[in-house]
Amino acid sequence: MASKSWATRLASYLKISAQNRGFATVRDDLKYGSSHEWVKVEGNCVTIGISDHALHHLGNVIFVQLPDEGAQLKQGTSFATVESMKSTSDVNSPISGRVVEVNTELTGSPGLMNASPYEKGWIVKVEIANGEEVKTLMDPEHYSKFCEEEEEEEDANH
């Protein structure tokens, strides 16, 4: 029992209170995009997923809308959506390229993203067009700091 469209409004809130900082892992062998994607670079092929930090905020993933194999991705544009209990989020591509493999396991088991964000929870494998783009991504240390700064900003807004 509540006021109009509260779930809609709530879904746009990804704020956390100061006391609740779950410890999220940042993997050392990966690069990171500014909207919390991780990238594993293996030659001219990369694997993309969402970081533990972002998943902590999203909560249980209940549905993943995956792109098709062969889809062309452009850096900074949305290529997938991830739904949690109360919100739907776009996943932005950290690089440009062609999707060569899609993690179809996520269709039946979206919870893999929460359980194994950096291994079983991968989203797509992409053949990259431009090696330079990878250099624009954050290294683990930089990403950890980025997450901290973002949380401080969130706390300041409270």
Name the residues that contact other proteins, by CB under 8 A: 1-20, 22, 34-36, 54, 57-60, 62-63, 65, 78, 81, 83, 85-90, 92, 146-147, 149-150, 153-154, 157-158
Q: Least distance (Å) from other proteins to the CB of residue 74? A: 15
Region class of 43: left (phi > 0), else alpha (psi between -120 and 50), else beta: left
Nearer to other proteins, 72 or 78 (CB): 78
CA–CA distance, 152 with 17 (Å, rounded to integer): 11
Is residue 14 within 8 Å of residue 91, measured between CB atoms?
Answer: no
Q: Least distance (Å) from other proteins to the CB of residue 135? A: 15
| Burial (CB count within 10 angstroms: exposed 0-12, middle 13-18, buried 19+), residue 152 | exposed
Question: Torsions phi, psi of 69, nearest 5?
Answer: -65, 140
Nearer to other proteins, 1 or 29 (CB): 1
Q: How far is CA 10 from the centre of its chain?
A: 20
Nearer to other proteins, 35 or 96 (CB): 35
Judged by DSSP in three states, 17 sits in coil
Nearer to other proteins, 44 or 88 (CB): 88
Q: Least distance (Å) from other proteins to the CB of residue 2? A: 5
Q: Least distance (Å) from other proteins to the CB of residue 45? A: 25
